[in-house]
Amino acid sequence: MKGTHLGEFEEVVLLAVAIRAGEAYGAAVVAEIEQQMNRPVNLGAVHSALNRLQEKGLVRSEMGGISAERGGRRKRLYTVSMAGQQALEEIRLLRNQMWSAIPKTAWS
């Protein structure tokens, strides 16, 4: 397993996979990120991030069923692994800790 440090984009992709819970494939992850963040996202960048996340053991993938709408092609579906869940929890705890460490005077 590669190092588990996550860049911001990888974190966002991992969160989108978690939100899509079982229905996370490339285009769905793009749609989720665009909806949540109100910014355009490149499908190729999402696929690259998904590959890195899988190499790090933070997501798992399997092939979905054949669909007529995709011309008989199958989708690669991603789910967050236990290690991915732990990574997201650690990130959330760290971010919350850092937010609470900001002195009240910093906003004046």
CATH number of 8-100: 1.10.10.10
* pLDDT confidence of residue 19: 97
Q: In terms of Cα–Cα distance, which of 21, 20, 13 is closest to 47? A: 13
Helices (H), 1-108: 8-20, 26-37, 43-55, 82-100
Poorest-confidence range of 3-7, 27-31, 40-44, 97-101? 3-7
Q: How many Cα atoms occupy the beta-carbon half-sphere of 47 within 13 Å?
A: 7
CA distance 56 to 84: 9
Stretch 94-105: mean pLDDT? 91
Asked whether residue 100 carries a pLDDT value surpassing 90, the answer given is: yes
The per-residue pLDDT of the chain, averaged, comes to 90
* Tens-digit pLDDT profile for residues 37-86: 999 999 999 999 999 999 999 999 999 877 666 666 788 999 999 999 99
What residue spans define the domains of the chain?
8-100
Say which amino acid occupies 86: Q
* pLDDT confidence of residue 1: 46
pTM: 0.86
